[in-house]
């Protein structure tokens, strides 16, 4: 059975980014043939390992004692990729991941997440893709635990996204602290602006194996946006279908957003009317000022001055939000000497310093 072009395209994006992928689907929908087609398209080698039929020794290898060092060395199985034998590039396809015994799963997950297994190291240009049936397929599949689920990008093949109940965790995440980190670490402005707008979606259970967390936003989604733009299937595989749909809708607002570069140039630009568009604009301005300051662009002080002149057009809460984001991202040095900022602080000292 063939799969959609969008799934194949998304798989290629994720493989290029070297992000861990977990394909989900009932038996017979084409997970294995998809990997064969992808390897053939790229002229890469493909090694297909069926974990449901393996024991821990089959994957981890055999322990061999070294009588000189008084230690045990593990000899990995010959099926694992060897660059000299199998080629520089290839795909290690770990099928039936969640049908395998727990010890086999643990070994496989070390390969996926750490790219090594004991003393064995996966060749640098090889990629690992895992696949599994869903629990609902009645194929002897175990439920994936949430900590592992949040390490994969989940791609459903001819099925819906598998469910996962993690509603009762008690996890609390401070969106303001995360945002400061994001602004200092080159996280895409779309993500920063969206978390400003919907801070409760920084971490939230979705009832699916894919759900939003700081790791997913700051690492996986950020890489996808910067490499492939707004690929909804890939983003949904990271944070779940509902949050991804909301994020994509928010990003479309950029068409209605005033040009942030025109504001930085000091042009007379009208303020947006809609709050969601204003969130998007504040995120765009903050990221541009912070990046200009970090790269020591000569225009950075002028950008700061023009932002100060513009932000008085915004509602008071957005003025505070924008300045706090720029300060949190390390650009405070651009503002302390500005007369416009000094005047603004006199009027907003209590809310700004709160």
d(CA 168, CA 163): 15
Q: For residue 80, is pLDDT > 80?
A: yes
Quick check: 168 pLDDT over 50?
no
List residues bridging with 24 in a β-sheet: 132, 156
Lowest mean pLDDT segment, chosen from 4-18, 97-111, 209-223: 97-111
Q: For residues 325 and 323, what is the distance between their CA atoms, to the nearest angstrom?
A: 5
pLDDT at 229: 95
CA 54, 59, 65 angle in degrees (round to 5)? 125
| CATH code of the domain occupying 5-156 | 3.40.50.300
Task: Please give the pLDDT value at position 339.
Answer: 95
Q: What is the mean pLDDT of residues 197-213?
A: 92
pLDDT at 160: 86
Q: For the segment 174-200, what is each residue's pLDDT rounded down to a tens digit?
A: 999 999 999 999 999 999 999 999 999
Q: Tell me: pLDDT of 170 over 80.
A: no
State the pairing for strand pair 71-75/62-66: antiparallel
* 200-211 mean pLDDT: 91
- Average pLDDT rounded to a whole number, residues 261-274: 97
Cβ neighbours of 246 (radius 10 Å): 17
Structure tokens at 167: 């509603």
Three-state SS annotation for the chain = CCCCHHHHHHHHHHHHCCCCEEEECCCCCCHHHHHHHHHHHHCCEEEEEEHHHCCHHHHHCEEEEECCCCEEEEECCCCCCCHHHHCCCEEEEEECHHHCCHHHHHHHHHHHHHCEECCEECCCCEEEEEEECCHHHCCCCCCCCHHHHCCCEEEECCCCCCECCCCCCCCCCCHHHHHHHHHHCCCCHHHHHHHHHCHHHCCCCCCECCCCCHHHHHHHHHHHHHHHCCCHHHHHHHHCHHHHHHHHHHHHHHHHCCCHHHHHCCCCCCCCCCHHHHHHHHHHHHHHHHHHHHCCCCCHHHHHHHHHHHHCCCCHHHHHHHHHHHHHCCCHHHCCCCHHHHHHHHHHHHHHCC
Q: Which residue has the higher pLDDT, 46 or 31?
A: 46
The per-residue pLDDT for range 33-75, each reduced to its tens digit, is 999 999 999 999 999 999 999 988 888 888 788 888 888 877 8
Task: Give the pLDDT confidence score for residue 298 in this predicted structure.
Answer: 94
Task: Please state, in angstroms and rounded to a whole number, the distance separating the CA atoms of residues 19 and 220.
Answer: 7
Q: Is the pLDDT of residue 26 over 70?
A: yes
pLDDT tens for each residue of 100-137: 888 888 888 888 889 998 889 999 999 999 999 988 87
172 pLDDT above the threshold of 90: no
Q: Please tell me the predicted confidence (pLDDT) of residue 86.
A: 97
pLDDT band of residue 271 (cuts 50, 70, 90) is very high
**Residue 106: what pLDDT?**
85
In this prediction, residue 231 has a pLDDT band, given cuts at 50, 70 and 90, of: very high
* Spatial distance between the Cα atoms of 89 and 81, rounded to a whole number of angstroms: 10
* 304 pLDDT more than 90: yes
282, pLDDT greater than 80: yes
Domain boundary assignment for the chain: 5-156, 175-352
pLDDT average, residue stretch 62-89: 88
Higher pLDDT, 211 or 65: 211
Count of all residues that appear for the chain in the document: 354
């Amino acid at each position: 059975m063939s799969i959609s072009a969008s799934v194949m395209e998304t798989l290629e994006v994720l493989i290029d980014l070297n992000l861990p992928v977990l394909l989900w689907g009932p038996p017979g929908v084409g997970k294995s043939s998809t990997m064969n087609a992808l390897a053939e398209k790229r002229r890469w080698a493909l090694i297909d390992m069926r974990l449901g039929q393996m024991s821990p020794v089959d994957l981890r290898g055999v322990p061999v004692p070294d009588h000189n060092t008084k230690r045990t060395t593990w000899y990995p199985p010959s099926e694992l990729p060897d660059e000299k034998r199998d080629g520089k590039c290839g795909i290690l396809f770990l099928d039936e991941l969640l049908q395998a015994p727990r010890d086999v799963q643990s070994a496989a997950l070390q390969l996926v997440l750490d790219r090594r297994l004991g003393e064995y190291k996966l060749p640098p240009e090889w990629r690992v893709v895992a696949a599994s049936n869903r629990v609902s397929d009645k194929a002897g599949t175990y439920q994936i635990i949430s900590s592992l689920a949040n390490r994969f990008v989940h791609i459903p093949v001819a099925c819906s996204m598998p469910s996962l109940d993690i509603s009762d965790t008690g996890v609390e995440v401070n969106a303001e602290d995360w945002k400061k980190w994001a602004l200092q670490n080159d996280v895409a402005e779309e993500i920063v602006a969206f978390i400003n707008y919907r801070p409760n979606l920084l971490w939230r259970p979705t009832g699916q194996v894919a759900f939003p967390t700081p790791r997913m936003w700051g690492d996986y989604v950020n890489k996808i946006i910067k490499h492939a733009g707004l690929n909804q299937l890939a983003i949904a595989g990271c944070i779940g279908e509902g949050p991804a749909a909301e994020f994509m809708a928010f990003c479309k607002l950029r068409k209605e957003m005033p040009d942030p570069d025109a504001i930085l140039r000091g042009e007379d630009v009208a303020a947006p009317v809609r709050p969601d568009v204003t969130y998007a604009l504040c995120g765009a301005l903050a990221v541009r000022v912070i990046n200009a300051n970090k790269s020591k662009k000569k225009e950075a002080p002028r950008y700061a001055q023009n932002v100060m002149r513009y932000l008085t057009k915004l509602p008071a809460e957005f003025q505070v939000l924008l300045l706090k984001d720029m300060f949190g991202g390390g650009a405070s040095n651009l503002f302390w000497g500005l007369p416009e900022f000094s005047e603004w602080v006199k009027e907003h000292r209590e809310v700004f310093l709160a």
